[in-house]
Amino acid sequence: MANQQTQKDTPEAKVEHIAGTAHEAADRVADTAQRATDEAVPATRGLTGAFATSYGAFADGIQELQHGYWRIVQKSFNIATSAPAEMMRCRSLTELSDLQREIFGKYLDGVVDANKTLIDVSARVAETAAKPLHGQVGLRAH
């Protein structure tokens, strides 16, 4: 009787038990993967939408900045093209000096105003573009 093996101890039973355990483990892994996928799909869609919204705001902002740069160039061009004619009308060095000071003042005022505007637009664009992304990752925009 010592040489007799019980049904449980046969190699076939052991293989069936291991196969059953492996099958259960595979089912658990598949279930876990399915749950992860079910959770990841809406999050990915939301993040993709947030990126699209963010890129749209960024593109609009870049276009606004481009228009701002063109306004700066136009103002500078207008000052540069009108200055020679105004200088030719001067009757003395004092008038010429006063005119140069006035032209330089206009130019500097324009540069300062333009840079302030561009900085304001840049800050607003950055904030607007970041809001959708902050919402998706659970952060609040400052």
Residues 45, 50: Cα–Cα separation, whole Å: 9
Provide the domain count of the chain. 1
Residue 5 lies inside a defined structural domain of this protein: no
Establish if 113 belongs to a structural domain: yes
- Taking the alpha carbons at both ends of the chain, their separation in whole angstroms is 81
What is residue 103's predicted lDDT score, i.e. its pLDDT? 92
Domain-embedded: residue 109? yes
Contact 75, 114 (CB under 8 A): yes
What does the chain come to in residues?
A: 142
pLDDT of residue 140: 46
Range of the domain at 128: 10-137
- Could you tell me if residue 77 is inside a domain? yes
Burial label, 118 (beta-carbon count in 10 A; 0-12, 13-18, 19+): middle
3 part of a folded domain: no
78 located within any domain:
yes
Query: Does any domain span residue 49?
Result: yes
Short-list 127, 138, 136, 116, CA closest to 57: 127
Query: What backbone torsions phi and psi does residue 4 show, to the nearest 5 degrees?
Result: -80, 135
Residue 98 lies in a domain: yes
Q: Give 10-residue mean pLDDT values along the chain (142 residues).
A: 52 57 77 80 79 88 89 87 91 94 90 88 89 72 46
